[in-house]
């Protein structure tokens, strides 16, 4: 029976933490060992491996295994309309101001740690509502994540009942309007789906896309990186943003203590400071 708690020495743990950092940029230390072990042990069982030493050898020789590893070590928690005040800000402030200054253009949004797509589709629903008031308003949303497994869920756009419970409580009319129930699942309506694309991307690299985004959600992902990592990721993201574009971060995230090219607007809301971007 594989019992890594008992047999994994410090050097092997360090080697595993180093692989997490190498492949995702996520900063894990000893206090995260139980979490990491809990996630990896099932993989070892699936591969019929009896030690992490053997697993490291597989990981280091297989890009397919690197994909599985990334899927396992990332935390993908998300929900529709997470952090209500952000969505109120978008509806009351951002959208009217953007539309006033850019009528006839397409709003470009990037959900930069999209997980299973709830954030991207929440934005799409809000934008669709705005479009009903302003018929020439158009938008495109790119959702990216380092983990393929979660992106596949977003790409299919089909959610189980428990994933839409919060939406049902908070915005039942939207669930009714933008999802098609099918037994135990709810499928995103094709009209919404048509505006959203998903693809893999590691935030430690620059996005290979010429688009300069007007709005970027980089929420609940900076917390996994150390300060230097946060600065690298923020600069990479900023390089893909339009001048004065808006960046939204997660509830427990702040750019206050790090050096970035963003200026503070309100809690969780920043702007690209580079007027020439
Ligand atoms: C907790 S989820 C946040 C989802 C969504 N933004 C939200 O706030 O609800 C964090 C996501 O960041 C992704 N992630 C972690 N490291 C990443 C990296 N280096 N590049 C891109 N995505 C990463 C994870 O795979 C995960 O899906």
| 233 & 150 share domain | yes
**Ligand 1 within 6 A of CB of 76:** yes
pLDDT exceeds 70 at position 277: no
Of 51, 73, 95, the one marking the end of a domain is: 73
| 32 & 89 share domain | no
Could you tell me the pLDDT band of residue 4, with boundaries at 50, 70 and 90? Answer: very low
Beta-carbon contacts of residue 128 (< 8 Å; ≥ 6 apart): 178, 191, 192
Of 25, 46, 73, the one marking the end of a domain is: 73
Of 19, 53, 73, the one marking the end of a domain is: 73
Percent above pLDDT 90 for the chain: 90
Q: Which structural domain, as residue segments, surrounds residue 205?
A: 84-272
What CATH number should be reported for the domain holding residue 47? 1.10.155.10
CA distance 17 to 15: 6
Q: Which residues of 17-28 are buried (b: 16+ CB within 10 A; e: fewer)?
A: bebbbebbbbbb
Q: How many domains does the chain have?
A: 2
Quick: pLDDT tens for 246-276.
999 999 999 999 999 999 999 999 999 976 5
Determine contact, residues 121/196, Cβ cutoff 8 Å: yes
Residue in 72, 74, 152 to alter for ligand 1 test, most ligand atoms within 8 A of Cβ = 74
Q: Which residues pair with 199 in a beta bridge?
A: 144
- pLDDT, position 5: 53
Q: Which of 1-10, 82-91, 219-228, 266-275 has the lowest mean pLDDT?
A: 1-10
**Ligand 1 within 6 A of CB of 25:** yes
Eight-state DSSP code of residue 268: T
| 13 & 137 share domain | no
* Index of the ligand 1 atom closest to the CA of residue 79: 9
* Index of the ligand 1 atom closest to the CA of residue 70: 25
| 17 & 120 share domain | no
Mean pLDDT of 219-227: 97
Residue in 75, 86, 87, 145 to alter for ligand 1 test, most ligand atoms within 8 A of Cβ = 145
What CATH number should be reported for the domain holding residue 249? 3.40.50.150
Summary mean pLDDT of the chain: 94
**Ligand 1 within 6 A of CB of 236:** no
| 61 & 194 share domain | no
- 104 Cα: distance to centroid of ligand 1 (angstroms): 32
Helix or strand holding residue 46 (H, E): helix 33-46
**Considering the domain boundaries, does residue 277 fall inside one?**
no
**Ligand 1 within 6 A of CB of 221:** yes
pLDDT exceeds 90 at position 100: yes
Name the closest-CA residue to atom 13, ligand 1: 113
| 56 & 108 share domain | no
**Ligand 1 within 6 A of CB of 143:** no
Question: How do strand 269-272 and strand 262-266 relate by DSSP bridges?
Answer: antiparallel
Could you tell me the pLDDT band of residue 114, with boundaries at 50, 70 and 90? Answer: very high
């Amino acid at each position: 029976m594989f019992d890594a708690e008992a047999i994994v020495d410090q050097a092997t743990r360090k080697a595993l933490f180093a692989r997490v950092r190498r492949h995702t940029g996520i900063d894990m230390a000893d206090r995260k060992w139980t979490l990491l072990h809990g996630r990896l042990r099932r993989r070892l069982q699936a591969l019929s491996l009896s030690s992490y030493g053997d697993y490291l050898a597989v990981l280091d020789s297989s890009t397919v295994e690197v994909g599985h590893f990334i899927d396992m070590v990332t935390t993908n928690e998300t929900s529709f309309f997470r952090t209500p005040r952000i969505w109120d800000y978008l509806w009351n402030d951002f959208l009217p101001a953007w539309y006033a200054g850019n009528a006839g253009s397409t709003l470009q949004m990037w959900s930069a740690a999209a997980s299973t797509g709830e954030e991207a589709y929440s934005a799409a629903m809000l934008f669709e509502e705005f479009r009903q008031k302003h018929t020439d308003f158009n938008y495109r949303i790119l959702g990216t994540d380092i983990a393929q497994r979660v992106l596949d869920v977003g790409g299919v756009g089909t959610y189980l009942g428990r994933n839409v419970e919060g939406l049902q409580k908070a915005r039942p009319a939207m669930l009714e309007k933008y999802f098609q129930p099918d037994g135990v699942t709810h499928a995103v309506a094709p009209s919404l789906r048509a505006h959203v694309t998903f693809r893999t991307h590691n935030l430690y690299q620059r996005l290979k896309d010429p688009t300069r985004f007007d709005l970027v959600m980089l929420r609940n992902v900076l917390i996994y990186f150390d300060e230097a990592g946060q600065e690298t990721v923020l600069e990479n993201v900023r390089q893909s943003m339009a001048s004065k574009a808006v960046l939204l971060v997660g509830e427990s995230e702040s750019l206050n203590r790090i050096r970035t090219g963003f200026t503070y607007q309100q809690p969780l809301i920043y702007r690209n400071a580079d007027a020439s971007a």
